[in-house]
Structure 1
Amino acid sequence: MNLSCRLAPALLLAAGLSVVLPAVHAAEDAAPAVKSDAVAEAYAALLERDYVYPEIGRRYAAAIRAGIAAGRYAPLAGDALATALEGDAQAVSPDGHLRVRPPAGAVAPGPVRRMMPDLVAIEQPGWIAPGIAFVRFNLFPDDAAVTAAAAKFMADHADARAVIFDIRTHRGGGIDQMDVIFPWLFDKPTRLVTMATRASVAETRGSPMDGAASMRPVAGAAGMATREHWATPNADARLRDAKVYVLTSSVTGSAAEHFALAMQHTRRATLVGAATAGANHFGGMEDLGGGFLAFIPVGRTYDPATGKDWEGGGVAPDIAVAPADALVRVLTDLGIGADDAKRLSDAHVPSAPMERRRGPQRVPAAAGSTSPGG
């Protein structure tokens, strides 16, 4: 999830899918030859300094340095080296955002995954039935036009008796679109979630939450820069009593999970579908040298009431149904007949998958870039 591209380089979040900035591509194109052990040591140093949990960061670094000492990385290059570094870190402690990307042209043949699929940010906004507004978000990008479109959707549907947010295919992003949605839905200032960033990152490059009016600095754990995300009502009260539903799936990740948790724990929305992806930790792409890049998770987002986040387990729905059936369930709950609900659901099938792909996956160097999260 990109919360929200305000760093240099920006910190990003994207549901276990990293996002690469244009400046990173430029560095990659001109990357000099670097020994594999030097790449590995750069990775170890970044994990030790900046990883969201200092103790785990030290364990990651120790494992990578043990690999260096054993000569594990010296004979490797390209995708093989990226795979080894990522795998050795994940073996210490799994993290949905921890990724190592090889240089351009270094990906081995076989199953691959784009770092950020080519997704349209907003799909099918409008009235799905009389009095019921519907919109699908696939991303929360760092894009003023998308933010304006989200704001327009809310204003154009301010007379709705119910609003359905479909985030079953949402891969992450930032808070800009959330911050034009939430003011319509709450009747008083409301704390949504808490976000904590390693102080080592906040002190040297700023917090990813700096500059956002909805983010309030608060005292937090030692070694962390902590902010709370707040919703402040606007002057239009029409949607404050509207029913709100959020459709989720195992693809729903990162910034989308932030949105889902905020709506759920404030009891402003009902989540319908499957548990989300479980990709909590936000961070950013770092240069390891030789064209290698690593996504280093440097912070986490959590429920301020419990202190718990969704890393690994995801955000559980209030009503558990197969994601493909989630819209039918919501529409029937809103009084739409079963046949009409099925017809409307069939007309609003997402263009992207609602289930995570299984099996071996590598991140290709030629992945498309965007400015979103996580």
Structure 2
Amino acid sequence: MQTPEVTDIVDRLRTLVEERYVFPDAAAEISARLAARRDSYPTDLAAFAAAVTADLQSVNGDKHLRLLHHAEPQPEQVPGDDAAEYAAMAQWADRTCGGVAAARRLPGDVGLLEITPVLFPAVLVGDVYAAAFTLLAPVQALIVDLRGCLGGEPSAVGLFMSYLWDHEPVQLTGMYERATDQVRQSWTHAHVPGRRYGRDRPLYVLTSERTFSGGEALAYDVQQTGRGTVVGAQTRGGAHPREGFRLHPHLEATISVARAVSPVSGTNWESVGVTPDVPVATEQALAAAYRSALEHVCRQAGPSAAEARAALDAGALL
């Protein structure tokens, strides 16, 4: 006989899945599986969360469908009040330089911009991106390292891509939302603060097996628009934006409420991940991209070519 607490959590989770999950047919199947397994779940909260997560993902492998166990009690959610979540996200962004772990010029006039742990909402990091791209705008080639980017917010992807494009907007991957039964489009911005890198010079985007969600969205848009070259390993495969719901002081359900839709392919990277244009081991991705960038700079006229040749001759491949 299952405890009333576990039964209540499972029933509320089933309702959330049925009402909110972006795929109604899969939602019905997932809900039925949770109901069938309800009496066999462990009562230890961490083990319970792991078992439920496995069942949530068993139908279609959606990695954003989870029951998360938090060691520390989570505050009550107040409908329509996102102030606490925003404040926590802002503090996280402040502690991590807005997700910009590195923005520097490498020998040979190649820029390196490393994004980790996530692409924070544009409203929080617009000034950080403006500063980073203003610094790197003059380089002859740019490497964007997303190997440690574990997620992100769609507005940040659009803003970031805007610095890699020109003033003429291009359509990016949008979001089909179950609640509206429509695709919310996304475009690059006609104006951005600071300087753009632009769309004409070489761009290399590094990926890894850890790159997920918003990080994948950026790599996918770079690939789909033909803007640059993706170098590294196949990504994790999470293309469904999610919302969090507190079901217990220590348990949070995350439900995918939308799905990404590319205007080019009509699909996304869910479950399969982003396939690199140049597949190499994660730890070799930077060296591979840097060599390619230096070779490009060597073919250009001017003092940067000599510096790039010297870097190649010195084996400065990071």
Change in Cα spacing, 1:95 to 1:145, as seen in structure 2 (3 Å) is closer
> Does the 8 Å contact 2:57/2:66 carry over to 1?
no
User: Which residue identity is paired with 2:10?
Assistant: A
Aligned to 1:72: 40
Please identify which structure carries the higher helix content.
2
> Does the 8 Å contact 1:39/1:292 carry over to 2?
no
Aligned to 1:88: 55
Aligned to 1:42: 12
> Does the 8 Å contact 2:151/2:215 carry over to 1?
yes
Q: Give TM-score scaled by structure 2 length.
A: 0.78
Aligned to 1:125: 103
The one-character-per-residue Cα deviations of 1:125-176 (angstroms, maximum 9, x if unpaired) are: 1111242111100111237563312111112222222111000110112144
| Equivalent-residue separation in structure 1 for 2:56 and 2:266 (angstroms) | 25
Q: How does 1:1-374 map to 2 (within 5 A)?
A: 35-68=5-38, 71-73=39-41, 76-102=43-69, 104=71, 121-138=99-116, 139-142=118-121, 146-187=125-166, 188-199=168-179, 224-234=181-191, 239-289=198-248, 291-334=250-293, 335=295, 336=308, 337-338=311-312, 340=314, 343-345=316-318
Q: Mark the structure with the bigger radius of gyration.
A: 2
User: Which residue identity is paired with 1:195?
Assistant: M
Q: CA deviation at 1:76?
A: 2.1
Shifted more, 54-63 versus 278-287: the winner is 278-287
Change in Cα spacing, 1:104 to 1:182, as seen in structure 2 (3 Å) is closer
| Equivalent-residue separation in structure 2 for 1:298 and 1:119 (angstroms) | 28
User: Which residue identity is paired with 1:194?
Assistant: G
| Equivalent-residue separation in structure 2 for 1:333 and 1:178 (angstroms) | 25
User: Which residue identity is paired with 1:325?
Assistant: Q
Aligned to 2:301: none
> Does the 8 Å contact 2:143/2:290 carry over to 1?
no
Change in Cα spacing, 1:329 to 1:254, as seen in structure 2 (3 Å) is same
| Aligned partner of residue 253 in structure 2, secondary structure | strand
| Equivalent-residue separation in structure 1 for 2:138 and 2:48 (angstroms) | 55
> Does the 8 Å contact 1:36/1:77 carry over to 2?
no
User: Which residue identity is paired with 1:97?
Assistant: H
Change in Cα spacing, 1:238 to 1:297, as seen in structure 2 (3 Å) is closer
Change in Cα spacing, 1:297 to 1:339, as seen in structure 2 (3 Å) is farther
Change in Cα spacing, 1:34 to 1:289, as seen in structure 2 (3 Å) is farther
Change in Cα spacing, 1:240 to 1:45, as seen in structure 2 (3 Å) is same
Change in Cα spacing, 1:144 to 1:340, as seen in structure 2 (3 Å) is farther
Change in Cα spacing, 1:178 to 1:311, as seen in structure 2 (3 Å) is closer
User: Which residue identity is paired with 1:230?
Assistant: W
Change in Cα spacing, 1:46 to 1:161, as seen in structure 2 (3 Å) is same
Q: CA deviation at 1:184?
A: 3.1
| Equivalent-residue separation in structure 2 for 1:288 and 1:100 (angstroms) | 9
Q: CA deviation at 1:101?
A: 2.1
| Equivalent-residue separation in structure 2 for 1:314 and 1:237 (angstroms) | 28
User: Which residue identity is paired with 2:111?
Assistant: A
Q: CA deviation at 1:260?
A: 0.6
Change in Cα spacing, 1:57 to 1:161, as seen in structure 2 (3 Å) is same
> Does the 8 Å contact 2:122/2:156 carry over to 1?
no
Unaligned runs of 5+ in 2: 74-91, 296-307
User: Which residue identity is paired with 1:162?
Assistant: A
Q: CA deviation at 1:238?
A: 6.3
Q: Give TM-score scaled by structure 1 length.
A: 0.67
Unaligned runs of 5+ in 1: 1-32, 107-115, 203-223, 346-374
Q: CA deviation at 1:78?
A: 1.4
| Aligned partner of residue 246 in structure 1, secondary structure | strand
| Equivalent-residue separation in structure 1 for 2:115 and 2:10 (angstroms) | 37
Q: CA deviation at 1:122?
A: 1.4
> Does the 8 Å contact 2:111/2:142 carry over to 1?
yes
| Aligned partner of residue 307 in structure 1, secondary structure | coil
Q: CA deviation at 1:65?
A: 1.3
Change in Cα spacing, 1:340 to 1:136, as seen in structure 2 (3 Å) is farther
| Aligned partner of residue 63 in structure 1, secondary structure | helix
The one-character-per-residue Cα deviations of 1:306-328 (angstroms, maximum 9, x if unpaired) are: 22211111010111111211111
| Equivalent-residue separation in structure 1 for 2:132 and 2:32 (angstroms) | 50
User: Which residue identity is paired with 1:149?
Assistant: V
> Does the 8 Å contact 1:158/1:238 carry over to 2?
yes
User: Which residue identity is paired with 2:174?
Assistant: T
- Identical aligned residues as a percent: 28
> Does the 8 Å contact 1:186/1:233 carry over to 2?
no
> Does the 8 Å contact 1:159/1:238 carry over to 2?
yes
May I ask how many residue pairs the two structures share in their alignment?
276
